[in-house]
Amino acid sequence: MPLGGGNKCGRCSKTVYFAEEVLCDGRSFHRSCFLCMVCRKSLDSTTVAVHMEEIYCKACYGKKYGPKGYGYGQGAGTLSMDKGESLGITPEIPGPHCPTNNPNPSKLAQKFGGSDKCPRCGKAVYAAEKVIGAGSSWHKVGCFTCATCGKSLESTTLSDKDGEIYCKGCYGKNFGPKGFGYGLGAGALAHTQ
């Protein structure tokens, strides 16, 4: 504590005595000096926002340093055209658009416009409709079905062969073991020649 009885005020630089001291961001202020830099509203610990040694109320801080544009208003559905010139903000002038010279390195993304191709219908598969099975992306509705019987599948109930997907039953009939004792149910006998 410096000589003279107290710390110096962060606003007026005069001595702040204990009875009138407000602490903020490691600095002392008189209660009467603890005001927003813009609107001069009295502040407290719940309404103060600090930026580069300056103190603001949260509303002025948001207008001066917060996000700008559609959807960042003061309430639901608010659109403000205030660009903050009254707060000393200079609007940014966007530079010219420069397209990138670095194309997407993925060959699949280049070929199909950034999305995978469904092996069943050959159309693009977007994230909202994608199911992964047999190492490929499929449309969940209409394409992620058994190649033999058309039954709708889930990623845990499918079997695949040569990039095509089947239900467990059709896979067993078409590609499972054949011969004596390999029936479809318990105790079934099959005689194949």
- pLDDT attached to residue 116: 82
CB 48 within 8 A of CB 57: yes
Query: Distance (Å, rounded) from C-alpha 35 to C-alpha 166?
Result: 72
- pLDDT attached to residue 1: 47
- 171 phi/psi in degrees, rounded to 5: -65, -45
- pLDDT attached to residue 159: 86
- pLDDT attached to residue 33: 92
Instruction: List own/partner pairs for 32-40 with CB under 8 A and 24 or more apart.
Output: 33/9, 35/11, 36/60, 38/64, 38/87
Residues (pLDDT < 50) of the chain are 1-2, 76, 102, 104-106, 108-110, 112
CA diameter of the chain: 111
CA distances, 101 to each of 104, 106, 113, 180 (Å):
10, 15, 16, 64
